[in-house]
Every structure is written in C-alpha cells, then in structure tokens.
C-alpha cells in the first residue's frame, strides 16, 4: 500500500501492522444509539486501535445555525489526534462496521488538515473478523504525539456559496449522498424537513459498495459518475448528505473514478434547512 491509497484491504493492513508503525482508529457509530460504537469497541477491536466517537471527536457541538455534525475546532482536534498518537508522518487506517460510512469522515478530516497517509479499511470490522483477524479488549494507550495542522479551505464549500448559486439560478454539480427517498422528499427519518437543495443531484452512497460493505471496483465507480454527470456542466464537484458524514464516502468514490475530489458541504442538508427562507426542492 502507498501513502496515497484511499482504501486498504485486511491483508494489506495486517502486513502493514507487522512491518511499520500504524495508527488504527475504530469509528463504529450508530446514529440511533450513539453509545453503541464505544461499547462494541470495548467488547473487541483491532489490536492497537483507538476509538473515535463521531459526535464527541469528529464533530463539535451543534449550534443554532449548523448542521448535525459541524467540524470540530481545529486546535481541539489537533489535541485529539496527538492523544491518539497521530503525528504528521504516521500511517492512519480508519474503520467502521463495514462500508466506511463513518470512517470516511476521519479520512476526509485528516486530508483536510494536510495528512495524506490515511486509508479506510475496505469492508471494515466485518471484513477483519471474517478474515479471522485478531481482536483485543484493551483500550489503546498511545504515546502522545504532535500533529501540525495545515487546513485546506478549498476542500470545503459553504452554505453561503451554495445559497448564492441557487439564488442566481446557476447550474452546479452538488451531489447528495442520501438515499433516493430522502432526496426526493418522500420521507425524512432524521431531519425536520424533507427534500433537497434545488439543483442538486442524487448519488446514494451505498451504491458504491457490495452487500458486505466492501467497495466495488474502480470501473464501477467510474461508470456511476459518468452516468450521473451525462449532460452536466463541466464544473467542479461538491458532495453533501444529511450532515457531512456519508458525503465523505462520495469523495472517495469520485477519487476512485479518477475524478478530482469533490468539495465537501460540511453543513449539508441539516444545515441548509436551518433557515426556513432557503428553498427546498422535492420530486414531482
């Protein structure tokens, strides 16, 4: 595996762990039971892994204007990374239950802060256990490290930018990772308003993985994006979802397809609907 790979297989991770320092981060999380992931980590995790809680570690508290998972304060997150033993040179591997829906958030955040040596475990914890990978219950006690952040603001697109484009009637490539029913406004199990940002297009993130959570091949991702963007303007891609988490999955998918990484709309749908004056589109 090279430092720029976005995905790593179980075999590759095991070989890496046997040959060089690596920090493994367990990102298992359940939106409906926010303590489940930590309990599962305590019951058994990949040896040496530390635990990252989506709400506590990979996001900051919700505000009146934010989405459900705003980015944490950079200085605070740098301290968290240091407590996990992550510096600017060590290889990081993130995993969740299987499909990378949450692990991709940590992958994106590290890249946003200038750390490219990070990959998502293909198939996650399920793939590790299916392959007979060892487990441990000890909580990781990593030696503190120093991480120096170099955030890239160009990786982010804001509500203000999207609002301006919508108001101007511009055509843009804002890709929403939520399932089709939520995007169309047929149902909304999480947020208070159903529908989508006017002008956005839909590419549900589970379409990039198999039933077992392992990622489909590069050609599949290339074909998906090609079909989605037929007739669309040659404009940069932007990715969104409900709260800026599974949208990171689309960023990896686009990179696998050979396209430039989309900018991430961190606030996503849950931030867009904070202002009742912002327009909402629904399927006819």
Three state DSSP letters for the chain = CCCCCCEECHHHHHHHHHHCCEEEEECCCCCCCCCHHHHHHHHCECCCCEECCCCCCCCCCCCCCCCCCCCCCHHHHHHHHHHCCCCCCCEEEEECCCCCCCHHHHHHHHHHCCCCCEEEECCHHHHHHHCCCCCECCCCCCCCCCCCCCCCHHHEECHHHHHHHHHCCCCCEEEECCCHHHHHCCCCCCCCCCCECCCCEECCHHHHECCCCCECCHHHHHHHHHHHCCCCCCCCEEEECCCCCCHHHHHHHHHHCCCCCCEEECCHHHHHCCCCCCCCECCC
Q: Do domains 7-151 and 154-272 have the same CATH topology?
A: yes
pLDDT single digits (tens) 237-254:
999 999 999 999 999 999
User: Does the pLDDT at position 2 exceed 50?
Assistant: no
Mean pLDDT of 136-150: 92
The reported pLDDT for the residue numbered 141 is 81
User: Does the pLDDT at position 20 exceed 80?
Assistant: yes
pTM recorded for the entire structure? 0.96
Mean pLDDT of 276-283: 95
pLDDT single digits (tens) 178-203:
999 999 999 999 999 999 999 999 99
With bands split at pLDDT 50, 70 and 90, how would you rate the model's confidence at 284? low
- Give the tokens for residue 120: 């998502």
Return the CATH superfamily for domain 7-151.
Rhodanese-like domain (3.40.250.10)
Establish whether 241 is a catalytic residue. yes
Class assignment of domain 154-272?
alpha beta
Of 71, 93, 165, 241, which is the active-site residue? 241
pLDDT single digits (tens) 67-88:
999 999 999 999 999 999 999 9
Please give the order of strands across the beta sheet that includes 263-265: 156-157, 263-265, 237-240, 173-176, 201-202
Mean pLDDT of 4-33: 94
Of the candidates 270, 275, 251, 264, the residue with the CA atom closest to the CA atom of residue 101: 251
The reported pLDDT for the residue numbered 3 is 39
pLDDT single digits (tens) 159-177:
999 999 999 999 999 999 9
Domains in the chain: boundaries: 7-151, 154-272
User: Does the pLDDT at position 1 exceed 60?
Assistant: no
């Amino acid at each position: 595996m090279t430092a720029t790979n976005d995905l790593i297989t179980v075999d590759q991770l095991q070989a890496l762990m046997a040959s060089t320092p690596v920090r493994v981060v367990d990102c298992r999380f359940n939106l409906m039971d926010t303590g489940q992931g930590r309990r599962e980590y305590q019951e058994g995790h990949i040896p040496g892994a530390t635990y990252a809680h989506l709400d506590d570690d990979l996001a900051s508290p919700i505000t009146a204007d934010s989405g459900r998972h705003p980015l944490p304060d950079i200085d605070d997150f740098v301290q968290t990374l240091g407590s996990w033993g992550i510096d600017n040179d060590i290889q990081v591997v993130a995993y969740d239950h299987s499909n990378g829906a949450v692990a991709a958030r940590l992958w994106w955040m590290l890249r946003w802060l200038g750390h490219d040596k990070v990959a998502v475990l293909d198939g996650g914890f399920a793939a590790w256990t299916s392959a007979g990978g060892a487990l441990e219950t000890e909580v990781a006690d990593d030696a503190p490290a120093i991480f120096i952040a170099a955030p890239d603001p160009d990786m982010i697109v804001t509500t203000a930018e999207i609002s301006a484009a919508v108001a101007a009637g511009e055509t843009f490539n804002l890709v929403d990772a939520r399932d089709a029913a939520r995007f169309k406004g047929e149902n909304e199990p999480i947020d208070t308003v159903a529908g989508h940002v006017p002008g956005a297009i839909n590419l549900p993130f589970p379409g990039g993985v198999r039933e077992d959570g392992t990622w489909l091949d590069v050609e599949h991702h290339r074909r998906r994006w090609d079909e989605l963007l037929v007739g669309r303007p040659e404009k940069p891609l932007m990715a969104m979802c409900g709260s800026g988490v599974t949208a990171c999955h689309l960023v990896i998918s686009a990179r696998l397809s050979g396209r430039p990484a989309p900018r991430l709309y961190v606030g996503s749908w849950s931030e867009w609907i904070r202002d009742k004056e912002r327009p909402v589109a629904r399927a006819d």
